[in-house]
Structure 1
Amino acid sequence: MDSKKYIEDISQIKDMMKRSSRFLSLSGLSGIMAGLYAIGGAVIAYFFLFPARGEYLTLHSWNFKMTIVLLLSVAILSIITGFLLTTRKARKNNEKIWDETTRRLLFHFLVPLMTGGIYILIKLNSQHYGLTASLMLIFYGLALLNSSKYTLSNVQYLGLAEIVLGLICAAFPGYGFWFWVIGFGLLHVIYGSLIYIREERSKTWA
């Protein structure tokens, strides 16, 4: 009995240490919704904003500006949804939504992401559009990988998948749109679904 209790105590201590160093309340539903927003935005761009055959997007064209607005809208919707769902889950788990761990998570996520964003804007300003989707996937993947040590460990696999997809996209720049849809849409839906299934299973066994 003493040995069994000792093992249980060690397990509880490990769990407490893990919770104190990692933000574990990321919501699977937020990943699914982010993917659906990205797919919805891609559908709108494909049917309404893509230039006609023989035409090209330019930095000052109406199509390009609306595409940027659409990308920002998808990002903002994803952030708001993720914040609301994650906050709700954190409250259910009696976890703090804002503490030192959260600050570290955001710092390690935002540094690669903002660096990539600035670099992409510089390239766009120089009228280099071909690798935009590839760079977005790679820097986003690096941001996920860099921040994964402060949240769910399997976030790193999503990050690696985004990086690999971005590198493949760089080899086929003419298909950047479709790689973007797969990376920000399909992969998010798959990852979010896996997390959500695990959440439901943990509730069943609780």
Structure 2
Amino acid sequence: MEENKKHLEDLTHIRSMMERSSRFLSLSGLSGVFAGIYAIIGAAIVYFDINVGYAEYIRNTAGGGEDQNKKLVFLVSVALLVLVASLVTGYLFTSRKAKKQGLKVWDKSARHMMLNLFVPLIAGGALCVIMMAHGLLGMVAPLTLIFYGLGLYSSSKYSFIELKYLGISEILLGLISAYFYGKGLLFWTIGFGVMHIFYGALMYFKYEKPAKG
């Protein structure tokens, strides 16, 4: 009986080691929560700066002009600030979690995850630039949601399963946003703000909080 119990413990340990070596498990749920908060703050800044309905702003921007170009630069700047803040915060929380677990932040599984995440993101970013160059600003929010969702779905096999479901949610939101043209800011806020907070909190309480108890 004792021998069987020892074998089961050994198998569990081996399985845990294999999972750690093939999956990036240091990703912190808190990084998702803060990324969502940053996204909501960024969306609020954009909304109040535009000071008109987003659909109306899309129509006005399509005509070009110096003022519209300034607004476009402002939108891109806010989006970049949200991205940088999210990446920095994510790295800090992930590093702290990895240190507690005795794991490396940048290992083979992390590299695979980042590669699968950023290939769709770079392709989607390039397509968004092309859309903006043609005055199709209303397609930027749907495209960012869709390509971000594809990146999450692809990279989830190297990390937590929740990323897969978050990716599917982002893709669906992007498609809905494309249908409701001109409502992109609303769906962008839901996708990058609310959904990040929801899944980040879910991952935190599922994988991190119990370990502290």
TM-score (norm 1): 0.94
Distance in 2 of aligned mates of 1:25 and 1:14: 17
Does the CA contact (< 8 Å) of 2:162 and 2:203 recur in 1?
A: no
User: Quick one: which of 168, 175, 181 aligns to 1:173?
Assistant: 181
Q: Which sections of structure 2, spanning at least 5 residues, go unmatched?
A: none
Gaps of 5+ in 1: none
Which residue matches 2:18?
A: 17
CA contact (8 A) 2:61 2:135 kept: no
Residue 209 of structure 2 corresponds to which residue in structure 1?
A: 200
1:87 paired residue number: 95
- Sequence identity (%): 45
Quote the Cα distance in structure 2 between the aligned partners of 1:187 and 1:151. 18
In the alignment, what sits opposite 2:29?
Answer: 28
Q: What RMSD, in angstroms, separates the aligned Cα atoms of the two structures?
A: 1.6
Query: Could you say what secondary structure the match of 2:61 adopts?
Result: coil
Distance (whole Å) between structure 2 residues aligned to residue 189 and residue 153 of structure 1: 16
C-alpha spacing 1:19/1:52, structure 2 compared with 1 (3 Å):
closer
Q: 1:28, CA displacement in angstroms?
A: 1.2
Give the Cα–Cα distance (whole angstroms) in 2 for the partners of residues 52 and 17 of structure 1. Answer: 52
More helix by share: 2
Q: CA deviation at 1:130?
A: 2.2
Contact 1:49-1:67 within 8 A present in 2 as well: no
**Cα deviation digits, residues 172-198 of structure 1 (max 9, x gap):** 112111000000000001111111212
> The residue matched to 1:107 in structure 2 has which SS?
helix
Q: Give me the whole-angstrom Cα distance separating, in 1, the residues matched to 2:117 and 2:161.
A: 14
Runs ≥4 residues deviating over 4 A: 50-55
Is 1:142 aligned with 2:150? yes
CA distance in 2 between counterparts of 1:128 and 1:158 reads 26
Secondary structure of the 2:48 match is: helix
TM-fit CA distance, 1:34: 0.3
Q: Equivalents in 2 of 1:193, 1:34: separation in Å?
A: 11
CA deviation after TM superposition for structure 1 residue 151, in Å: 1.1
- Report how far residue 128 of structure 1 moved: 1.4
Aligned length: 204
